[in-house]
Amino acid sequence: MNFKRYILTFLGLLISEVLLAQFSTSGFGTGTQSTNNFPQGKTTDKAKSPTGRAGVDDSTKVIYGPTSTKYFLEEDVFNNRKKLYTIDTTIGEGHNFNFVQRYRNMYQDLGNIGTAIRPIFFQAPEQIGTMLGYDAYTLYAFKPNQVRYFNTRSPFTNLVYVTGGNTQDLLQFEFSRNVDSLWNFSINLQRIVSNKQLVTSSTSTNKNALGHWDFMIHTNYQTKNRKYQLLAYANLSDHNSNDEGGVLPQGRSYDLILQQGNNAAILNNAATRDKFYNLHLYHEYVGYKAFQVYQVLDYQTRKVQFRDPDYIANWTNGFYPIAYDTLGKASRYTTDATVTGKMKLDSLYNESQYSIFEHKSGIKGFYKGFNYRLHLRQRFFGFTNPLYNYSISRNENFLGVWLNQYFKDSTRAFAELEYLLTGSDFKLNVEFQGKWLNIGGKAMSTSPTLVQQVTFNDGFRWDKNTTAFVTDRGISNNMQTYHAYASASPKFGKLTLRPSVDINLINSYIYYDTLAFVKQATEDIAIFRAGLGMDLRKGAFSTISQLYLTTTTGPDLIRIPKIFASTRLAFDLLYKKKLFIQTGLELHYKSNYYADAYMPAIQQFHLQDKQMINGYLQADAFADMRINRVRLFFKFANVAQGILGNGYYAAPGFLGMGRTFGFGLQWLLFD
């Protein structure tokens, strides 16, 4: 509580400083307006200090705007691309505050913002080596490739507030300012809250579904001669969720539940907490363009917990598939309710503690369009399951190379290879990026996660090292994935087409079965996906559409809808030369499929054969607006409910959000 009070107080002081700067005696309209309705920055906002470094002169009467505030990404510095981005002032995406829609409906959550989330289509692991394996909430946390490192000429603030209906609230705050022309300091804060959907009038439990905090401070610095550059951030992510387990059927069909209200949840007192601290640093020294030295450092501590005090009751009603009788090595499991007296009659509790230090050190450079990188990556990690009294410490060493060639026509080809020295993990990636054609392939062999190797609690147990007390062994064999893809973007006047094809071949696929126990496939699985996108703009009208057709061969372990379609129809309006408006309709459809269910006790999605997720055409009406430095939106979500159907399921047992009205505001402050 004291920490939250400190953060809120600190945030209030920062906002107060920015507001005072906004209403300074210099007035509002001392500069001219640009064609995009934002005042532009001038070049007279720097003052030379005695050290020769340009300082920020806040007393100079200058009107700042998006063109005077620029940022860059770590990936661009890493790849020797000297690219600066200006602040995006376009409209059209503000209403997609929900993370599912933010990622073009390519993810499945539990029907509420901030809930457990997974990709609809198969995705190979991003890294090789032994990872933790708890990923249901990591999409909501800040990531290194998303951090915007600024070079501001004035204090910059980006404030976003969204109330999405049914108590879905999102707050994002970003503040940045340069100490001088070489050093910047920034703060990011994100808060996500929402209420449970499955709460009856007689329920006395906590109605809060979740609360998610992200707090980050980051900085970037470079020396006057531009030889040395440093990027760093410290991040705290804290996710608290009151898990519901899905709707309680009470003898009704899932279709009938959609037609009736006052639906209760299976779990009433279960809760998850996923908290981590992360320190990240990238720095480089540029001796020559063709020879540079760089290093990436990461340190993280993480603690994942789950507790259900009604464990035995929820095992009896079938939500948990197995109950173990003791915590000793002679444990056995049973599904016979007559032996409950032998069980440990307390809550189901799961805990994992994880810490990792990683560095990637190497050399890189570029010469006449050719880029290269060589690196050594080392990971030192520890993992503890306190219930099992299990603890390991391990280190892994990787070697990697990355090669990239730019051609005169702006096309490029690159290849990368990384290999685990003490194991069989590897990653090979090659790609050609043309003006309108991309083609590539990726091959990976990845170790099972720590959760897939060892898990121990009253309901789920496996260990790859022993069979003394478990029926199902943990996984020790690597999974291999081979991915070939191609996409094109030919233009025909105002029309752009985006055909694509993806082929995935997976060997020794690791998954969670219908009991949420870890398994490994013995047969290969192949996934074929063909896509067609279309972008069209004609006058004030624009449309963006995407269609995917998918089929699989082999064992039915990866469930994907055969048809996936989304489209946006929009019109642009200008009211009295000041108010820009884009209004329209977004439609999304997925065909019937047995989507994976969610097991909160181990924070994993798993196979299920009980509920078919029926296809449903979701329609959202929206209006995005911009006037000067303020953008806002109004959104009427699921507007077709009651016309095209009574609703839909976002995941097995979890109803999708019903018809709701949302509102959001973004305020950009540049001085």
Res. 323 pLDDT band, cuts 50 70 90: confident
Res. 203 pLDDT band, cuts 50 70 90: low
From 234-243, 332-341, 448-457, 511-520, the region with the lowest mean pLDDT: 332-341
Model confidence at 583: pLDDT above 90: yes
Taking every pair of C-alpha atoms in the chain, what is the biggest distance, in angstroms? 84
From 166-180, 343-357, 640-654, the region with the lowest mean pLDDT: 343-357
What's the rounded Cα separation, in Å, for the pair 108 and 120?
A: 6
What's the rounded Cα separation, in Å, for the pair 242 and 195?
A: 9
Ramachandran class of 602: left when φ > 0, alpha when ψ lies in -120 to 50, beta otherwise? alpha
What does the DSSP assignment read for 437-473? EEEEEEEEEEPPPHHHHEEESSS-EEETT--SS-SSP
Amino acid identity at 242 = N
Model confidence at 217: pLDDT above 70: yes
The pLDDT value given to residue 382: 96
Contact between 157 and 174 (Cβ < 8 Å) = yes
Token output for 481? 């994935």
Res. 48 pLDDT band, cuts 50 70 90: very low
Amino acid identity at 43 = T
DSSP secondary-structure letter at 498? E
Model confidence at 641: pLDDT above 50: yes
Model confidence at 29: pLDDT above 50: no
The pLDDT value given to residue 100: 94
Q: Per-residue pLDDT averaged across 587-601, rounded?
A: 96
The pLDDT value given to residue 78: 92
Q: Per-residue pLDDT averaged across 354-370, rounded?
A: 94
The pLDDT value given to residue 51: 45
Q: Per-residue pLDDT averaged across 419-428, rounded?
A: 94
Higher per-residue pLDDT: 379 or 465 = 379
Higher per-residue pLDDT: 345 or 271 = 271
The pLDDT value given to residue 60: 46
pTM: 0.86
Q: Per-residue pLDDT averaged across 103-111, rounded?
A: 94
CA distances from residue 65 to 28, 31, 38, 422 in whole angstroms, order as listed: 12, 10, 6, 52
Task: Please give the mean pLDDT across all residues of the chain.
Answer: 85
The count of C-alpha atoms lying within 13 angstroms of the C-alpha of 658, restricted to the half-sphere facing its C-beta, is: 11
The pLDDT value given to residue 326: 53
Burial 556-588 (b: 16+ CB within 10 A, else e): ebbebbeebbbebebebeeeeeeebebbbbbeb
Res. 81 pLDDT band, cuts 50 70 90: confident
Residues 433-455: tens digit of each pLDDT: 998 999 999 999 999 999 999 99
Percentage of residues in the chain having pLDDT higher than 70: 85
The count of C-alpha atoms lying within 13 angstroms of the C-alpha of 393, restricted to the half-sphere facing its C-beta, is: 1
Res. 325 pLDDT band, cuts 50 70 90: low
Tell me how far the alpha carbon of residue 424 is from its chain's centroid: 28
